[in-house]
Chain A
Amino acid sequence: DAKTTQPPSMDCAEGRAANLPCNHSTISGNEYVYWYRQIHSQGPQYIIHGLKNNETNEMASLIITEDRKSSTLILPHATLRDTAVYYCIVRVGTGGGNKLTFGTGTQLKVEL
């Protein structure tokens, strides 16, 4: 699975959009971008994933650049409960190994 690079920490004001970047310059054509978060040592929570098109669900939006070498997770209106470590993971969607390789992630702190 391709390696990812994320900033170690970010701050965001409550109510504002949180934009979390991820670089995955060695991504292959059949690899998906997944985002998970871990709130204070709870079990990781799935957020969203995509291949090459932008994706949106009730939690967040995922913007993937045209060359697929980077992506941004957007939390449109961050709340205090969004404070967590956010992990960007690249993995083969079909036909390959299934393990998730977690990096160090981005510690997002949402403040009043």
Chain B
Amino acid sequence: NAGVMQNPRHLVRRRGQEARLRCSPMKGHSHVYWYRQLPEEGLKFMVYLQKENIIDESGMPKERFSAEFPKEGPSILRIQQVVRGDSAAYFCASSPGRVGETQYFGPGTRLLVL
């Protein structure tokens, strides 16, 4: 029973490039959440998605960041025109299709912007 999978585990980008982070939820889970952890800081909520719907994006920066969770395939967190301040660990979590169910986290993607 595979857990939440994220890839790539490490990603290096130069300033101005695009970063695409992928998250495959646990089997049977239809809710996905993205969190960001800046160096030496705590985890911060970014966005909560269900299949084909963004439910809560209150933690997403207004520009350059977008997320999707299509009907088929993994959830994608996309960062356009990356800047050094985007360097962080990005964690995805998933939960079953009921409100309030426990979230289980993936191993994260470490993004380094040069």
Contact = CB atoms under 8 A, between A and B. Distances in A.
Interface of A: 32, 34, 36, 38, 41-46, 49, 91-105
B100 A46 contact: no
A44 B59 CA distance: 18
A41 B41 CA distance: 11
- Bin the interface of chain B by size: 20 to 34
A84 to B, nearest CB: 13
Interface in B37-67: 37, 42-45, 48, 55-56, 58-59
A44 to B, nearest CB: 5
Q: Is the interface of A mostly helix, strand, loop or mixed?
A: loop
Nearest to A104: B42
B45 A101 contact: yes
Contacts of B69: none
25 contacts: A34-B102, A36-B105, A38-B43, A41-B89, A43-B106, A44-B43, A44-B93, A44-B105, A46-B104, A94-B98, A94-B99, A94-B100, A95-B100, A96-B99, A97-B56, A98-B55, A98-B100, A99-B33, A99-B48, A100-B33, A100-B35, A100-B43, A100-B93, A102-B35, A104-B42
